[in-house]
């Protein structure tokens, strides 16, 4: 009977160890999944930030392009005004004086 009790006690201890090992393994797997989710979230946040930076860069480039276009239009208008003034000056010099 003592031997049977010892065997039952050892079986109970082994069952308890197995149960704790399974709990530890389950806890480790849960921590692993949590870590993966956090990494995915970080990746998504980083990706969202990069997309926003690209959008802002595109807006800056668009604004610079628009500013360049306006500058060219202004320069062309000034050249046209200068050319018109030169023609008027030449025409004014070519008229006989009274």
Entry pTM: 0.46
Say whether 5 sits in a helix, a strand or coil. Answer: helix
User: Does residue 95 surpass a pLDDT of 80?
Assistant: no
CA 82 to chain centre: 48
CA 52, CA 62: separation in Å to the nearest integer?
15
Question: Tokens 């050249």 identify what position?
Answer: 79
Confidence at 97, pLDDT banded by 50, 70, 90? low
Percent of the residues in the chain that have a pLDDT greater than 70, as a whole number: 95
b/e map 34-52, b = 16+ CB within 10 Å: eeeeeeeeeeeeeeeeeee
Q: Degrees (nearest 5) of the Cα angle 13, 18, 21?
A: 125
SS (H, E, C) 52-74: HHHHHHHHHHHHHHHHHHHHHHH
């Amino acid at each position: 009977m003592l031997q049977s009790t010892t065997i039952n006690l050892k079986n109970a201890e082994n069952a308890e160890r197995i149960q704790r090992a399974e709990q530890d393994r389950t806890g480790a797997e849960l921590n692993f999944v949590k870590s993966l989710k956090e990494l995915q979230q970080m990746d998504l946040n980083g990706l969202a930030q990069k997309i926003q930076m690209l959008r802002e860069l595109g807006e800056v480039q668009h604004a610079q392009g628009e500013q360049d276009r306006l500058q060219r239009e202004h320069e062309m208008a000034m050249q046209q005004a200068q050319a018109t003034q030169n023609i008027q000056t030449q025409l004014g010099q070519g008229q006989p004086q009274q």
